[in-house]
Structure 1
Amino acid sequence: MEIERKFLIRQLPEHLEQYPCLQIEQGYLCTNPVVRIRKQDDSYFLTYKSGGLMTREEYNLALTAEGYVHLRKKTDGLLITKKRYCIPLDPYTIELDIFEGDLAPLILAEVEFPSEEEANAFTPPEWFAKDVTYSGKYHNSYMSRYGYQPEDNR
Structure 2
Amino acid sequence: MTNLEIERKFTVADDWRVPAGAPSGDLRQAYLSPPGAGSEIRVRAKGTTRVMTVKAADVGGDPLVRREVEFPIADEVFEQLWALAGEDRLSKRRWSVPIDGATAVVDVYEGELAGLRVVEVEFDSVEAARAFRPPEWFGEELTGDPAWSNRELAARAFPGGRMPRP
1:81-140 Cα deviation digits (max 9, x unpaired): 000001111321000000000111110000000111111111001111100102111100
Partner of residue 80, structure 1:
90
- The TM-score, its normalising length taken from structure 2, stands at 0.84
Judged with a 3 Å threshold, the aligned counterparts in structure 2 of structure 1 residues 15 and 80 are, in CA distance, closer, same or farther, namely closer
Q: Is the CA contact 1:84–1:96 (under 8 Å) kept in the aligned structure 2?
A: yes
Of the candidates 135, 143, 147, which is equivalent to residue 153 of structure 2?
143
1:70 matches 2:84 = no
Partner of residue 27, structure 1:
30
Shift of 1:9: 1.1
d(CA) in 2 for partners of 1:93, 1:25: 21
5+ long unaligned stretches in structure 1: none
d(CA) in 2 for partners of 1:82, 1:103: 9
Shift of 1:14: 4.0
SS class of match (1:73):
helix
Q: Is the CA contact 2:106–2:120 (under 8 Å) kept in the aligned structure 1?
A: yes
For 1:73-112, list aligned pairs within 5 A: 73-112=83-122
Aligned residues: 152
1:127 matches 2:137 = yes
Q: Is the CA contact 2:94–2:105 (under 8 Å) kept in the aligned structure 1?
A: yes
Shift of 1:4: 0.4
The letter for the 1-side match of 2:131 is A
Judged with a 3 Å threshold, the aligned counterparts in structure 2 of structure 1 residues 65 and 21 are, in CA distance, closer, same or farther, namely same
SS class of match (1:123):
coil
Cα RMSD (Å)? 1.7
Q: Is the CA contact 2:30–2:44 (under 8 Å) kept in the aligned structure 1?
A: yes
5+ long unaligned stretches in structure 2: none
**Identity in percent:** 30
